[in-house]
A and B are shown apart, each in its own frame.
Chain A
Amino acid sequence: MADLTTLPDGDLARDLKRAERRRRLTAMMLVAPLFLFLLVSFVLPIGDMLRRSVIDTEVAEVWPNAAAAAAAWDRKSEPGEALFAALGRDIRTSAGERTIATPARRLNYALDNGRSLVLGTGRALKQLEGEPASWRATLLAENPAWGERMTWIALADAAGPLTDFYLLTATDLMRDANDDIVSRPPERSLYLQVLGRTFLVSFTVTVLCVLLGFPVAYLVSNAPERVANLLLILVLLPFWTSLLVRSAAWIVLLQDQGIVNDILQALHVTSEPIRLIFNRTGVVVAMTHVLLPFVIMPMIATMKSIPPTYLRAAISLGAHPAVAFVRVYLPQTVPGVAAGALLVFIMALGYYVTPALVGGADDQMLAYFIAFFTTSSANWGLAAALGVILLSATMLLYVVYARIVGMGRVKLG
């Protein structure tokens, strides 16, 4: 047998290597467009979002001296005149250059009335001529809030370049006047509750989707082809309708004067309309409806690949049909069920439009708040931090899920 490790060197080996390289290059070039697309449309924006949750340079860009002084401050001692002077000068400059709105907005995230504190001080200092004898006295005379430790903690937090402020807020925590991390006041502790709500709704929807989708998938994969095709179209039909239309249709069906309540009352099941929409029931019903195709499709794919002979063999060997179904058929559907459930769960976590339309005020999920902070209040740092929390919680769950189900068994199509 020839020794393969000592191939004749020279032309042949070089040619081989070159051919190999060319092949690899071609493969890479074929993948390149998709890779670039993913990089530009997916990896970079997500990376940018994650960055915003911890990087905080807005204040430092406008108030460089004050930010540097605040970052160097030990957060324990009384802020000295040098610190007041750096801030006072920076406020005056930024008020003159009309850049003061940015630090005002940033401090407002951490301080009650932080915006009017900064803007008001800016308006006053703009009129100030020359250097005052004491910047400390000047600032305190303008607004006593400059004497409070919380103000300086907030400024030091915002001085950058890194901050944990947004991630703390997104987990209902904050720094108090002693720079200790404490819980936020109960009326502002919201996000962990919303995160729990998001997971609960997604979980409920996933369970319902599997329970409702399984018989449909079974029917489709075992029916004669013509019937199966028709059923498949029925499954996919709502899929081609706009999400908004489907959600709005549920409002028509489920509202107090809607068809469902009319029927219930006509049948004397209930004496007065029951609340089916603009609450959790409405959210779960509408989301289950919207997401059902995503669980049915992978289940059909798996079920079609299960040979019917196994079940027949089990029954002919004496198993009760129900037992045969549970012990022989069901385990073989796990890859499809697991894939469908995973797909639905992860999609449900990010749902925004449907809960907004058919939910009540206490049914909004995390995506609603991310959208609120991104567009309406433009608090991008907090939006990013909430995104990070949702992303990490989802990944954690995915790892646990992969452990339990075994990712090798999940089959997505």
Chain B
Amino acid sequence: MKRKMLFAASVLAGAGLFAGAVLAERPLTVVSWGGAYQDAQKAVYFEPFKATGANMIDESWDGGVGVLRSKVQGGTDSGWDVVQVESEELQIGCEEGMYVELDWDKIGGKDAYLPAAVSDCGVGSIVYNFVLGYDKDKIKDAPAGWADFFDTAKYPGKRALRQGPKTNLEIALIADGVAPADVYKELATDAGVDRAFKKLDTIKKDLVWWKSGAQPPQFLASGEVVLTSVYNGRIDAANRTDKRNFGIQWNGSLFTLDSWVILKTTPNLDQAYAFLDFAGKAENQAKLPDAIAYGVTNKGATALIDPARLPDLPTAPENMANAVQISDSFWIENIDKLTERFNTWAAAN
């Protein structure tokens, strides 16, 4: 008898849970890049947003527009609402109709943000750079730019670049004397691409390839390489948390933005807008650089950031001076072709 009652109770409980799962509204699900960055976002955006009474959870992903396409394919809710995407994913997904076209009036208006952060489907969240990183304890004479990266006589030892063609062809051309502003004009021609690969040839045997953003600081720390391309935030994090003495050369650095998008299949559109509005406000954004050295996109935020912190950020005017924005339209059009070319180049001796 007792057993029977237990069984009946568990069946009821199970049915109740099931019904609850079906009926209850799913909390707003915000997806970002994980790691130290998402920890910072948690402290600055997610927890304070929840404190306003919002029902939200956060998840992480590793990027890839293919992932998002499979999420929205079929048109039914896939569990994600707001996703932080890289600029290429923003553009491809927007053209393919994977995201909600933003109503900018709901998130403070276009004028509140940096022009580069405004687009049809996404609102910029952070600005970050690929910079030239080195260890100040080992290199006294700071490299002046990418040309020094290719100078193995002046800086003997290995150097690291990100695996794949993206960012490396730009770096090679800048090192070869192309002005940062003209890099994509040059790359649009076959001769320009040849020139970039030829430049990479000169240090091919000294190159190590990194695949995840955490690797370059590790390579510098272990002495595996003397110079590396690296996300500026990683260098800052290594200096602050691991007490390293790494340096950054901002000259000729490549910058890009990550953006928030709302997936077309969201059942939580209003909360999604509420979150974007919250994460776009100057006073909220201004707290992010304290935790991690990325630039933020609300024009009003810069004035609220501790002036001592500004020189570490991509959005500081002197750091922006000779930087070039990574061209999404170039890479969307050419990534397959140049990835094939990069890999045949890597395999040839």
Contacts and interface: CB of A to CB of B under 8 A. Distances in A.
Interface string B246-285: 0000000000000000000000000000000000000000
B310 interface: no
A258 B343 CA distance: 28
Contacts of B63: 375-376
B66 A378 contact: yes
A356 interface: yes
- Is chain B's binding surface mostly helix, strand, loop or mixed? helix
Contacts of A380: 66
Interface in B322-342: 329, 332-333, 335-337, 339-342
A255 B224 contact: yes
A188 B211 contact: no
Contact of A257 (B222, B337, B339): B222
A105 B94 CA distance: 13
A219 interface: no
Contacts of A255: 222, 224
Contacts of A189: 344
A101 B337 contact: no
Interface string B37-67: 0000000000000000000000000011111
Nearest to A117: B333
Given A99-B97, A112-B337, A376 B344 contact: no
Interface in A162-195: 186-190, 193-194
A93 interface: no
A187 B224 contact: no
Contact of A188 (B64, B333, B344): B344
Given A116-B329, A377-B339, A190 B223 contact: no
Interface in B300-323: none
A284 B65 CA distance: 32
A374 B66 CA distance: 6
A364 B66 CA distance: 20
Contact of A190 (B67, B69, B211, B343): B343
Contacts of B208: 278, 360
A108 B163 contact: no
B344 A101 contact: no
A310 interface: no
B66 A186 contact: no
A377 B331 CA distance: 10
Interface string B210-240: 0100000000001110000000000000000
B346 interface: yes
A256 interface: yes
B337 A98 contact: no
B209 A278 contact: yes
B347 A193 contact: yes
Interface string A366-387: 0001001111111110100000
Nearest to A375: B64
Given A193-B347, A361-B209, A375-B63, A115 B336 contact: no
A360 B343 CA distance: 11
Interface residues of A, number: 45
Given A98-B97, A255-B224, A361-B346, A116 B339 contact: no
Contact of A187 (B95, B158, B335, B341): B341
Contacts, number: 96
Nearest to A383: B66
Please tell me the size bucket of the interface on B. 20 to 34
A102 interface: yes
B112 interface: no
Contacts of B158: 256
A362 interface: yes
Contacts of B223: 256-257
A378 B346 contact: no
Nearest to B208: A278
Contact of B344 (A99, A186, A377): A186
A108 B333 contact: yes
B76 to A, nearest CB: 18
A255 B211 CA distance: 16
A218 interface: no
A30 B96 CA distance: 45
Contacts of A382: 336
A373 B67 CA distance: 11
Contacts of A73: none
B92 interface: yes
Contacts of B346: 360-362
A186 B329 CA distance: 25
A115 B330 CA distance: 10
B33 interface: no
A372 B96 contact: no
A113 interface: yes
Nearest to A357: B211
A193 B344 contact: yes
A409 to B, nearest CB: 38
Nearest to B329: A116
Nearest to A112: B337
A239 interface: no
Interface string A257-299: 1100000000000000000001000000000000000000000
Contacts of A102: 96
A325 interface: no
B343 A378 contact: no
A393 B339 CA distance: 24
A356 to B, nearest CB: 6
Nearest to A115: B333
Interface string A104-122: 1100110011111001000
A53 to B, nearest CB: 16
Interface string A306-333: 0000000000000000000000000000
The 5 nearest A-B residue pairs measured at CB:
A375-B64, A101-B95, A361-B346, A378-B66, A362-B347
18 contacts: A101-B97, A102-B96, A105-B96, A116-B333, A188-B344, A194-B343, A360-B208, A361-B163, A362-B346, A364-B343, A375-B65, A375-B67, A376-B63, A376-B335, A377-B65, A377-B336, A378-B69, A378-B92
Given A100-B95, A360-B346, A375-B65, 18 more contacts: A104-B95, A105-B96, A112-B337, A113-B333, A190-B347, A193-B344, A255-B222, A256-B158, A257-B223, A278-B208, A278-B209, A357-B211, A361-B209, A362-B346, A376-B65, A378-B64, A378-B66, A378-B92
Interface of B: 63-67, 69, 92, 95-97, 158, 163, 207-209, 211, 222-224, 329, 332-333, 335-337, 339-347
